[in-house]
Amino acid sequence: MVLEQIDRSAAPAAGASEKTLRVLQAALEHPRFTDIVAEAGLAKATVHRILATLVEQEFIAGDADHGYRAGPSLLALAGRALASVDISSIADPIVTELVERVDCTVHVGVLTESEMVYVIRKDASKPYRMRSRVGLGIPLHSSGMGKAVLATWAPERVDALVAREGLPARTADTITTAEGLHEELARVAARGYAMDLGENEVGTVCVSAAIRDHTGEARYGLSISSIALEHPGTTIESLAPAAVEAAEAISRMLGAPGA
């Protein structure tokens, strides 16, 4: 049954709607009926009735004995929602607020096979401008947001990337050995953010955090960028909490688990 065929002639009251959503979420997260009842916080009879309706309307499939799973109607709805996801429009208000708060250029990039491609760039009020542009691809190993994403990968996946793409030097500070990259990624994973201290472009620094999608995978990155003259040494690191907070807010908007 497709969504258009569902009878909506009598919309349920707000209380009933909330109960239905609670049961739906619980049914998708717990295999046993008793666990669904406990999670929903409703009477067994109420949960049983709502589950029966959800099965009838094909939002879920299964039964109390074997557990429940997403049904055709819910999958169709999820597919439409995912197809409409636009990271730029979702992230834009969060990025705008972040730029106003830190007064630095903020980028959001999307992961491709071997690069991070900028999809958002918002400039600060400073007189200088970054050389970056929307649509520009930057290597994973030399960029802050690239390293933030790489730090979520299994070591074998990182090694496969290195074997395929190499670690070309962008500046004298670029990491160019697999051993050095693994050491750096371990530090990034431990602290939850990455830095680029002139590794991708001489005189430019940034602090970055990964953005996770609805599957929990890090498919995007956010960076707060500046020039080394304004943020010498590792002082850009002071903006790490703001970068992580913004990245987590975008992850939540994308439906990342636990975000």
Is 105 strand, coil or helix? strand
Picking from 253, 258, 174, 159, the residue whose alpha carbon sits closest to that of residue 216 is 258
Which pLDDT score, from 0 to 100, does residue 85 have?
59
What are the helix (H) ranges across 30-143?
33-40, 44-56, 72-83, 87-102
**Structural domain boundaries of the chain?**
3-82, 86-253
Which pLDDT score, from 0 to 100, does residue 13 have?
46
pTM of the model: 0.72
Fold exhibited by the domain 86-253: Beta-Lactamase (3.30.450)
Q: In terms of CATH architecture, what is 3-82?
A: Orthogonal Bundle (1.10)
Highest mean pLDDT: which range of 45-59, 62-76, 128-142, 149-163: 149-163
The chain-wide mean pLDDT, for the chain, equals 88
Q: Give backbone dihedrals phi and psi of 108, rounded to 5 degrees, phi first.
A: -125, 135
Beta strand 67-70 pairing with 194-197: unpaired
Q: How far apart are CA 178 and CA 167, in angstroms?
A: 8
Picking from 154, 144, 150, the residue whose alpha carbon sits closest to that of residue 174 is 144
* Positions of E strands within the chain: 60-63, 67-70, 105-111, 115-122, 137-139, 194-197, 204-212, 218-227
- pLDDT (average), residues 153-157: 96
Q: Which amino acid is at 69?
A: R
Q: Tens of pLDDT along 56-74? A: 888 888 888 888 888 888 8
- pLDDT (average), residues 129-134: 79
Q: pLDDT tier at 8 (50, 70, 90 boundaries)?
A: very low
Which pLDDT score, from 0 to 100, does residue 80 have?
66
Q: For the chain, first and last CA: distance in Å?
A: 32
Percent of the chain with pLDDT over 70: 92
Question: 137 or 184: whose pLDDT is higher?
Answer: 184
Picking from 7, 11, 30, the residue whose alpha carbon sits closest to that of residue 20 is 11
